[in-house]
Structure 1
Amino acid sequence: MAQPYPYPYPCAPFADRPIPVLDPQFCAPYPVDLVIVRKVLTITDGNFAVTDVNGNLIFKVKASFFGLRDRRLILDAAGRPILTLREKILTSHSRWKVFRGDSTDLKDVIFSAKRSSIIQIRTKLDVFLANNTAEEVCDFKVKGSWSERSCVICAGESSTVVAQMHKKISAQSVLLGKDKFMVTVNPNIDYAFIVALIVILDEINSND
């Protein structure tokens, strides 16, 4: 497994080299289009399926096996846990920590994300890689309108977009009680990392 990219994160185009936040296997040399389907009428909240545009399963997102609302697991298509997302309880900025595999040990933290400010009209999250302990400048920033499912993820405080999301509505998705959104991940960007950010966004806004 590759270690997170060293801080500070370069705010420059990424077309020439992969940026593996989790692992190089999740970095493609071309844009990756993902379809994220959130089941909104199920007993268990927070369940997602992530597919490619042809419907092939890439990831599954499930609530903790212990039923805790503050934890989500991202599994690969074979059901193996690759990331654990855990909310820090009683924080004003809704901070989440993301760990490698099914661990919640601090040595396995990959990154954390929190609201840029306590009160927000539009969505803004600051994302810090694990070795950015000072957190003076974020490594990534998420901004946009969650209600419209229109968000971009940028490198640091720059305007360099690494991924963007928009809502995809179909008659079938409405009928089946599912919320669909499309995410385009730019070349050489870790798309497992981007999926984790989308799940955190959904959790923070659902809690609101």
Structure 2
Amino acid sequence: MDNSVPVVSKIFCSSTPTTLMIRRRPIVVNGGGFVVTDLSNNVVFVVDGCGILGSKGELLVKDGEGEPILFISRKGGTVQALSTRNKWNGCSMDYQGKNKLVFSLTDPKSCITKVAPIRIHIEPKRHCKNWDFEISGSFADRDCTIIDCTDKIAAQMGKKEQIGSKDFYNVEVQSGYDKAFIIGVMAVLDNIHGESTRCR
């Protein structure tokens, strides 16, 4: 029985748990994002941020072959400026370059709402609560978890103990969940926390 939860595409869902290693690019060498490898050191995804794209609030996730698969942007405008929360939209990209909204993520952007959880909505809507995924824990401490609306863990982030650097960490994606989607969420969290994808 297929229990996969595709968001970007079913091809990014695996039947077994997968550990992905995330390494920030040095700012002086092609800065503006991070590289994602598997345990065999094969590049699986590349995330480009402001340092490469040149625009604030825009992120691009590419597959291991360098093909764009997910474009993420922070929603702007007057309404957004007055809001106490930031909204990010993730759009899948097909071979013709067309975008289709696949998820939106809302995060608190003021100290008043800092305790509010980060919620993710999938498109088309299929949530069992008023959200599909929720992020708990601390990205800055490399200790956060993404759960779905049935309280199952979709992915868990951790430090690579032997290295002990915030520039290198791992994410374990559980079986059936979309790895490209999880990396897209990691890219947004990276940007929110002013790390490798943010403009310097």
TM range (shorter): 0.7 to 0.9
Write the distance in 1 (CA, Å) between the matches of 2:175 and 2:27: 34
The gaps in structure 2 that reach 5 residues or longer are none
Going from structure 1 to structure 2, the CA distance change for 1:169 and 1:58 (only over 3 Å counts) comes to same
In the alignment, which residue of structure 2 is the partner of 1:68?
Answer: 55
In the alignment, which residue of structure 2 is the partner of 1:198?
Answer: 186
Kindly report which structure 2 residues correspond to 1:12-23, keeping only aligned pairs within 5 A, or say none.
Answer: 17-23=3-9
Going from structure 1 to structure 2, the CA distance change for 1:82 and 1:121 (only over 3 Å counts) comes to same
Kindly report which structure 2 residues correspond to 1:18-57, keeping only aligned pairs within 5 A, or say none.
Answer: 18-39=4-25, 41-42=27-28, 46-57=32-43
Going from structure 1 to structure 2, the CA distance change for 1:192 and 1:123 (only over 3 Å counts) comes to farther
SS at match of 2:120: strand
Write the distance in 1 (CA, Å) between the matches of 2:98 and 2:117: 25
In the alignment, which residue of structure 2 is the partner of 1:127?
Answer: 120
In the alignment, which residue of structure 1 is the partner of 2:70?
Answer: 83
SS at match of 2:187: helix
In the alignment, which residue of structure 2 is the partner of 1:11?
Answer: none
The one of 159, 163, 185 equivalent to 2:173 is 185
The TM-score with structure 2 as length reference comes to 0.80
Write the distance in 2 (CA, Å) between the matches of 1:140 and 1:128: 7
Write the distance in 2 (CA, Å) between the matches of 1:75 and 1:104: 15
The gaps in structure 1 that reach 5 residues or longer are 1-14
How many pairs align?
187
Write the distance in 1 (CA, Å) between the matches of 2:193 and 2:74: 13
Task: Give percent identity, aligned residues only.
Answer: 28
Cα displacement (A) at 1:135: 11
Residue type of the alignment partner of 1:80? E
Write the distance in 1 (CA, Å) between the matches of 2:10 and 2:146: 19
Going from structure 1 to structure 2, the CA distance change for 1:23 and 1:146 (only over 3 Å counts) comes to same
Q: What value does the CA root-mean-square deviation take over the aligned residues?
A: 3.0
The TM-score with structure 1 as length reference comes to 0.78
After superposition, give the CA deviation of every residue in 1:77-104 in whole Å (9 maximum; x if it has no partner): 1111000010112353121100111758
Write the distance in 1 (CA, Å) between the matches of 2:88 and 2:60: 13
Cα displacement (A) at 1:63: 2.6
Residue type of the alignment partner of 2:123? A
In the alignment, which residue of structure 1 is the partner of 2:88?
Answer: 96
Residue type of the alignment partner of 1:129? I
Write the distance in 2 (CA, Å) between the matches of 1:25 and 1:104: 18
SS at match of 1:189: coil
Residue type of the alignment partner of 1:88? K
Write the distance in 1 (CA, Å) between the matches of 2:129 and 2:9: 25
| 2:51 is the alignment partner of 1:59 | no
- Conservation of the 8 A alpha-carbon contact between 2:88 and 2:105: yes
Cα displacement (A) at 1:123: 7.9
The one of 155, 158, 162 equivalent to 1:166 is 158
Write the distance in 2 (CA, Å) between the matches of 1:104 and 1:202: 25
- Conservation of the 8 A alpha-carbon contact between 1:169 and 1:180: no
Range with bigger deviation, 89-98 or 187-196: 89-98
Residue type of the alignment partner of 1:186? Q
